[in-house]
Structure formats: C-alpha cells, structure tokens
Amino acid sequence: MNKIIVPIDFSDYSEYALQAAASLAKKNDAEILALHMLELSDFMLTISGSALDEQTVFYLKMAEKKFHEFLDKPYLEGVEVTPIVKHFKSFVEVSEIAKEHNADLIVMGSHGTHGLQEMFVGSNTEKVVRHSEIPVLIIKEELKSVGFDNVVFACDFSDEAIPAYKKATKILSELGGQLHILYVNQPAERFRSSDEIENKLKEFLTKADGNTDNFKNVAITNAYTVEHGIFAYADKTSADLLALATYGRTGIAHFFEGSISEDVANHAKLPVLTFKI
C-alpha cells in the first residue's frame, strides 16, 4: 500500500477518516493524498468567462487556506501528506483522482443515510463506493485502533467475486487479524442446503486460492436478508471490520435492485471495506 486518498469536507467524519488513514500510512510507509472537492453548482458552471475564473480562484484560495489549517494535526507528524483541491462538480470523480495518482485505497468518513434521503439523494460515500475501482474504507466514528483483529468478509461467492476476494485477502493479510468468510443463507428461492453451500464455497476457494485451506475460516448463517445476517454475525463474533464485494450498480438497475454493500455501508456502525466486482 503506497498511496491512500482521503476526501476532506472539514467535518468530524472526514477527520475520523484522516486519523485512520494516518495510522495505516504509518504502518505501510504510505503517502496520504488529502482531497478536497469544490462541488460547483450548475449555476456557477453556467457563468461565462472571467467571472467564473474569478469565483473559482476565490473559492480555491479559501479552500487551500482552510485545508492547510485542517491538516495541521499532531497525528500527521511523520506522514507524507499531499493536499489536492479540485473544482469538480461531483464526488463521483474521486475515482478519477484515484486512477490519476495510482492510489491503492480510499478512506472516507460517513454518517450514513436513511429513509427518503437515502432513496433520492444517497450519500457522497455511497457514490464513491459505487464507482471506485479500488477498495474503499468507510469510517463511521473515531477509531482507537486500525489493527482490525476480527474481520468479516461477505459476498455472493460467484465467479465474478473472485477478483474482489483476492484483493480483500491481500489487504486483510497486511492488516493482520482473524478472517471470517461469511455466507448468508436466505429463505424462499435463495435457500441452499448445507451441502450445496459447502460445495459452492469449496469450488469458489479452489478457483480463487488454488486450494480450500481457507474453508476453515468459513461461517454460514441464516437470515431473512443478507444485511441482517452480516450484522448479526458481526455482533456475535465481536468483529471490528466488515469487508464486502460490491457490484457497483448504477442507473435503473441500481434503483430497482439496490446494492447490499451500499446498504451495509450506510447502516453499519463498524468500519466497512468494499471491493468492486
């Protein structure tokens, strides 16, 4: 892990993310790219010529001043921090910054969303999770440690999830700790017998790892929804991190089908690490 992007909006939540990223950077001798996005309004984007240039420069200067003050923190001592201020319109473009700088991880703070806000607006974190090609670590509160000793990894264990699983096991092996590979068995048409689940998981691990050594870390739980199954098992095992594979659906497919990973990211109290399939 060489570069970690931390989007900053000057909130307490973005500071929680910055603190977590600082701890990870110190452990991995990594650089932090502290990113502030000036989300320009449609009105500003319609302003022509010099008027737009003047306002953009004004907001950039204000952001740079506030940025340097925000980054003056004791926990960043000894960490290489590169401030980046961009005047993009949408938080979706964080993924473009990640590609441009060849970053390994995005660490974001989030308070989550619920109800109508979640349906119609979503959250900046949700947008980044949906579009990011690299893992996204979502922090909900100030963490005492980023050791992550007890990690639950859940996905549908389809062939499409193999790359996400490989990325997850690689990063989680660097973090250390106990890995729990979780399959959530649901009722009705999604129900699978114990033998079916065992065969499915062994086939998946054989394709992903070349062996079934990790089957000893597999847990199977029954629940009405995947989200509730993950939360119940995480509580039972005193997990300190949830790791999930996400399909990153967009548009109509996302509206009707939703994304389990985005729901978990929004509603979980624990940190969530997502890997796009």
pLDDT tens per residue across span 41-90: 554 545 555 655 676 677 667 777 888 888 999 999 999 999 888 766 56
CATH assignment of the domain containing 114? 3.40.50.620
Pick the last residue of a domain from 141, 162, 188: 141
* Shared-domain flag, residues 113 and 130: yes
* Shared-domain flag, residues 23 and 137: yes
Report CA-CA distances (Å) from 195 to 54, 56, 192, 200.
Answer: 66, 61, 8, 8
Residues 233 and 152: beta-carbon distance below 8 Å? yes
* Shared-domain flag, residues 47 and 26: yes
- pLDDT, one tens digit per residue, over 100-152 is 999 999 999 887 655 444 433 346 777 788 788 899 999 988 888 787 889 99
* Shared-domain flag, residues 15 and 137: yes
Using alpha carbons only, what angle is made at residue 122 by residues 118 and 125, rounded to the nearest 5 degrees? Answer: 125
What's the domain count of the chain? Answer: 2
Pick the last residue of a domain from 141, 173, 194: 141
* Shared-domain flag, residues 3 and 130: yes
* Shared-domain flag, residues 5 and 104: yes
Q: Is the pLDDT confidence value at 251 over 50?
A: no
* Shared-domain flag, residues 12 and 78: yes
* Shared-domain flag, residues 199 and 274: yes
Q: Note down the domain range covering 157.
A: 147-277
pTM: 0.83
* Shared-domain flag, residues 34 and 7: yes
* Shared-domain flag, residues 276 and 177: yes
Residues 265 and 110: beta-carbon distance below 8 Å? yes
- AA letter at 24: L
Amino acid 101: pLDDT: 92
Pick the last residue of a domain from 113, 141, 169: 141
* Shared-domain flag, residues 204 and 73: no
* Shared-domain flag, residues 181 and 99: no
Q: Is the pLDDT confidence value at 275 over 60?
A: yes
